[in-house]
Amino acid sequence: MDYQEQKKYFERAYKTGTDIWTRMPYRAKGTLLTQNLKPGATVLDIGSGRGYWAFELAKLGFKVIGIDYLKGVVEKANKEVVDRSLEGQVRFVEADGLDIPFADHSFDAACDFGLLQHFKPEDFIAYETEIARVVRAGGYFLLVVLSKETRSFLNLSPKGSPEHRFESDDTSFYFFDFEEIRQLFVKDFEIIKEEIEFMPAPHDSVAYISVLMKHK
């Protein structure tokens, strides 16, 4: 899957309102992160989209920067910052998760709700390196991604298949297991908590993994 084609897919989805991931219930797993943060902590939301979770963090009193590579989505989210009178509390920046435009150790925490699963496996290490670079030592990272235990998702059937990466509708999805995540992040992060859950009905064939990590 070409990244430019995938970008066009996401642009279309946001323009047509078919970005079904925006309000997926897995964002409730954000409490795994927030319960470990001090008031006023700085948080990076990677792949922030419409800003749903970034705004929730801001309302809780955290300082938040959301990054997304879609210019139009970022512009709309920043307009909503003004509409919600949250200037100084949250802002959005056009940026790629593989090239985060902030200095080393800039954040107390970072979170990713469903971005990593869209990268090519050969880019996973570059992604991990960027997260480890911008999160300070002792800081936290929450990763929420699709699980290999998913029975069906769109027209895909990951469980039981030898494959982990699938393509559908001009985008790709990677379905993880815990061991893959451990191996990817073990160099820089300590695993604090791991969970696997299924979506509520009618999407209860879809499983997702939540992993809270602490930077070594």
Task: Give this prediction's pTM.
Answer: 0.94
pLDDT of the residue at 101: 98
pLDDT of the residue at 216: 98
Q: Tell me the chain's radius of gyration from C-alpha atoms.
A: 16
Domain of 92 in residue numbering reads as 3-215
Number of domains in the chain: 1
Beta 107-113 vs 135-146: how paired, if at all?
A: parallel
Please tell me the number of Cα atoms within 13 Å of 78 on its side-chain side: 13
Note the residue count of the chain: 216
The CATH number covering residue 137 comes to 3.40.50.150
pLDDT (tens place) for every residue of the chain, 216 residues total? 689 999 998 999 899 988 877 777 666 678 999 999 999 999 999 999 999 999 999 999 999 999 999 999 999 999 999 999 999 999 999 999 999 999 999 999 999 999 999 999 999 999 999 999 999 999 999 999 999 999 988 888 899 899 999 987 788 999 999 999 999 999 999 999 999 999 888 888 999 999 999 999
**Rounded Cα–Cα distance for residues 64 and 44 (Å):** 6
CB 216 within 8 A of CB 188: yes
pLDDT of the residue at 132: 99
pLDDT of the residue at 168: 79
pLDDT of the residue at 35: 94
CB 172 within 8 A of CB 191: no
